[in-house]
Amino acid sequence: MDFTSKEFPMTDENFSYLSGVAYDISGIVLGDHKKELVYSRIARRIRKLELVDFNQYCAYLESNKDVETNEFVNSITTNLTSFFRESHHFEYLAKTVIPEWKKSKIGKPIRIWSSACSTGPEPYSIAITLQKNMPVKNFDVKILATDLDSEVLAKGRAGEYSLNDIEQIPRDYLSCFVRNEKSGIGMVKPDLKEMIKFNRLNLLGPWPMKSQFDVIFCRNVVIYFNKETQKELFDRLADSLVNGGYLFIGHSETLHGVSDRFESIGRTIYKKVK
C-alpha cells in the first residue's frame, strides 16, 4: 500500500523512525506488516496536534520527547483484552494452584503479577477466581497489575466496564459487579479493587519490585519482541518467580527454544524449575 498518497503522507523513512522509537522505548518490534496500524494510530495524533504529515509528527516527537513519548506509546500499544480470556488459565488457577495454596500458604504472603494488564480485565479475573475459590480474607493476597500505557491503567483503576463486556463472565461471577442497567455500566466491587495495585511499568526497563511472585501472567506480550528480547524477558521473569512458581503466557506464545528455566505443565502454562 502506498502511504505517501494518504490523508497524511507517511514515507518509509517516517515508518522506520517511528518503529525505531517504539523498539527503543518498549522493545516492541513493528515490522512492515504493522504499517497500517502505525498509520491509523499516529494519524489520530497528527489530527489532534494539527500537523500536516508524518514528517512533522516525527520532528515533533523528536523535539518533544518529554511530553509526546507517553502519547506515542499509548497510541501504538495494542490493548485487546477481555474478562477470563484464555479461560483454561483461570481454571488451572482455581483447580490446581489455589488448592496448593490452601495447604502451603497459611500465614504466608501470596503475590501475583499481571504484567501486561491493559484496562484491567485480567487482574480482575484473577481476583474473582481467588475470591470464589478460597477464603481470601484469611490469606495475605496481593495482585500487582502493570502496563506501559498510562491511559489503560487509569481505566483499570476505575474498574468501570460496559455491561456488554461483563456479560461474558460466568453467571456465578456476576455478583462481583454492581450493575447499572440505566447507564449500561458495571462497577467492580470495592473488595476486589482492594486486592489489586495498578502501576505503570515498562517490562524492558527497571523493575522496582523487591519480592518474588507465586504466579506471573505475561500473556500476548512477547509476540511483539524479537527472540533476543524474549530470552532476556523470560530470564527476568524466572528471577521474579519463587521456586516452583507458575507462569502463564499467551495462546500464540511458547518458551520452546527461548528459556530452559521452566517446564511445560499444560497449555501455555509453565512452572519454574531453576
Among this protein's residues, is 85 annotated catalytic? no
For residues 255 and 268, give the distance between their C-alpha atoms in angstroms, rounded to a whole number: 9
The residue from 41, 157, 179, 261 that is catalytic is 41
What single string gives the DSSP state of each residue in 18-83?
HHHHHHHHH-----GGGHHHHHHHHHHHHHHHT-SSHHHHHHHHHH-HHHHHHHHHHHH------T
Q: Is 41 noted as a catalytic residue in this protein?
A: yes
C-alpha cell at 49: 496536534
Residue whose entry in the numeric block shows the C-alpha cell 484469611: 138
85, 111, 147, 149: the active-site residue: 147
Provide the edge-to-edge strand list for the sheet that holds 160-162: 160-162, 185-188, 177-180
Cα(57)–Cα(63) distance, integer angstroms: 10
Residue numbers annotated as active site: 41, 147
